[in-house]
Structure 1
Amino acid sequence: MTKHVSSAEFGREDQRWPQCLQFLDASYKRMYTLGCLDILYKPSLAIIGARHATPYGIAVAQMAGRIAAQSGIVVVSGGAMGVDYAAGKAALDAGGEIIIVSGCGADVVYPRSSEDIFSAAQSGRGVIVSCEPWHQAPRRYAFPKRNQIIAGLCTSLIVTEAGMPSGTFSTAQTAHELSKNVYAAPGSIFSPQSRGTNRLIELNSAIISDEVSLETLISIDFGKSRLISSGDSPVRGRILEALVANPMRPDELALRLDKNILTIIRTLSEYEAKRLVKRLPDGRYSASEQSYLSTYCFDA
């Protein structure tokens, strides 16, 4: 089916204004769009999280974007670096469609690192939406407004990582107030990037415990399921299991796992070469995005 790709500008009284955004206050006067406007009215899943996300947060975003696309559900994000970009790119790579809600003019690419997903949306694989005028550069006040639109447009919302306070956490709170279904990926109690998601779970957000649980939640909310089987859960070695819980130095790992420090260092070097772990600037090791998404890895 041919998609109609164009730019559009309309006010609140126009029939093209989404009914789900009628709750917005009077400061939201006009909407500007680029891409396939029809996508704006499809069932959608917002996937949001930290700009400076950990490998864990990025991996959850990629998983969620892929599942949504394979289920025929549009992915909504702010197009920012980190989780927003990871979710949008994963959805596009899986053949899905995206909505980017911009805090700038709809014709302004921000950040530049997300240019490929902006281009894909503009070309008809999605739609870029903004309530800021054409050509408007980034303004601090515009991003909380953008977050309100994300919360309003989506049917359900996933938070992969969020600090407190943060724009991500406030977006999830708005979604809660609008009676949207909110999911959260639990994280380490030692990670500042997971304080918001863990708090959301305390506030009764649905817990994403694994890929199957996320697919189940999406199936219930949207009445759709993937045609592709999710397969078995990843099998990880003890070292990777420990690093998933919390980044650690080699000596900490050796003590925790009761293993020889040289064995730990050799194994970490092997895993780093396979891109299953990454060394952080402070000398600790963290599980990588690839290890979270890998189906198999070797026990240590």
Structure 2
Amino acid sequence: MGACRDGFEIRRGDSGYPRCVAELPQVPPVLYVRGDATVLDLPSLSIVGSRRASPYGSAICELAAGIAVESGIPVVSGGARGCDQVAGWATLNAGGRHIVVLGTGADVVYPSTAKALVDRVIETGGCVISIEPWGTPPQRWAFPKRNRVIAALSSATFVAEAGLPSGTFSTAEAANELGREVLAAPGSIFSPESRGSNYLIANGACCIADEEALEVAISRIYGTLRFCRKDARGYGGLKGNEQRALDMIVASPLRVDELASHLDIDGVSCLTLVSSLEIQGLAVRLPDGRISPSKSALHALTRLGHNG
């Protein structure tokens, strides 16, 4: 084991080389590490997904990371924009330990938006690792190799949200090849952001349809129980078309004109209704103009068992 810069190197054959990574068909000769490497040998859950995470995908990442932490399991991600970073911050905010696998050198934070996350990971007893030498800049060919390490580190890989095609698939494929379990959250058949996740489920991934399903999967795979449950508190106070509108956009994000048509109201009334949901923090506008439930609304619906 050699030291370098503000990190150190673990070579294949060293006592600290994680056994799970050694199971890769092409074992990386060196791991470049910053932080506490002891977390690498703990059973962990990889959470991956779209870089363009929707509120739905972000809420799922936060839910999955919270359940993992409450089950005593570290979370692995790639530190990328979107689902990776959401899962990372959710893990840290819940008091858990996080492992970030970079496609660059372990001392080169990419994307730059991950810097605060990486710093916090190291401060809280997690670690940042790479199979690329110190100082390696981002290069496209390195990220599929990084994804194989993400899959190898964990007993299961959870796909929160993925389009089709999607880079997330290389992680899921690597997990399958290693005999690891792939878990995936389903989404609307009308949502482009969920086509990849639904495809994985159709081809054998374990379908995580609700919070309880993820608890059961983690208990089965890791032999551990979650130590607490959230209180069942909903958002409350919605009546008539507000409740109907929220139910509709939970099923699939809609444009204002589509929502107005479904509700059988005029466009001005629909804009007023949407504005009310936005003010209450229950709805947000996606970059393409569709109206989507917010993360807080989705979390509330999850706690209620949806429309409970």
Q: Which runs of 5+ in 1 are unaligned?
A: 1-5
In 2: Cα distance, 1:48 partner to 1:173 partner = 13
TM-score (norm 2): 0.88
C-alpha deviation, 1:259, in angstroms: 4.4
SS of the counterpart of 1:31?
strand
Matching residue of 1:227: 227
Give the distance between the partners of 1:82 and 1:283, measured in 2 at CA.
19
Distance 2:154 2:78 in 1: 12
Q: Quote how far apart the aligned CAs of 1:227 are.
A: 1.9
Matched, 1:59 2:71: no
CA RMSD across the alignment: 2.2
Q: Following the alignment from structure 1 to structure 2, what is the Cα–Cα distance between the partners of residues 170 and 26?
A: 15
Residue 245 (structure 1) aligns with: 251
TM-score, structure 1 normalization: 0.90
Give the direction of change, closer, same or farther, for the CA distance of 1:281–1:28 in structure 2 (3 Å limit): closer
Alignment of 1:1-300 (within 5 A): 7-26=7-26, 28-232=28-232, 237-259=243-265, 261-294=267-300
The answer to whether the 8 A contact 2:10-2:33 is kept is no
| Counterparts of 2:29 and 2:116, CA distance in 1 | 29
Deviations 1:189-230 (A, max 9, x none): 222221111011011211111112111211221122222123
Query: How much has 1:251 moved relative to structure 2?
Result: 2.8
Q: Is the 8 A contact 2:20 2:41 kept in 1?
A: no
- Change in Cα spacing, 1:286 to 1:42, as seen in structure 2 (3 Å) is same
Separation in structure 2 between the aligned mates of residue 238 and residue 176 of structure 1, nearest angstrom: 40
Cα distance change of structure 1 residues 207 and 108 upon mapping to structure 2, 3 Å threshold = same
Secondary structure of the residue aligned to 1:19 is coil
Output one character per residue of 1:219-249: Cα deviation in whole Å (capped at 9) or x when no partner.
2211222221234485782211211222212
What SS does the aligned partner of 1:251 have?
Answer: helix
Name the amino acid aligned to 2:244.
R
Q: Give the aligned partner of residue 3 of structure 1.
A: none
Q: Compared with structure 1, are the counterparts of its residues 182 and 273 closer, same or farther at alpha carbon in structure 2 (3 Å cutoff)?
A: same
Kindly tell me the number of residue pairs found equivalent between the two proteins. 293
Q: Report the CA distance shift for 1:170/1:216 in structure 2 as closer, same or farther (over 3 A).
A: same
CA contact (8 A) 2:21 2:27 kept: no
1:227 match: secondary structure: coil
Q: Distance in 1 between matches of 2:181 and 2:14?
A: 28
Cα distance between partner residues in 2 of 1:204 and 1:232: 32
SS of equivalent to 2:262: helix
The residue identity in structure 2 corresponding to 1:208 is I
Q: Decide whether the 8 Å contact of 1:163 with 1:169 is kept in 2.
A: no
- Matches of 1:148 and 1:192, distance apart in 2: 25
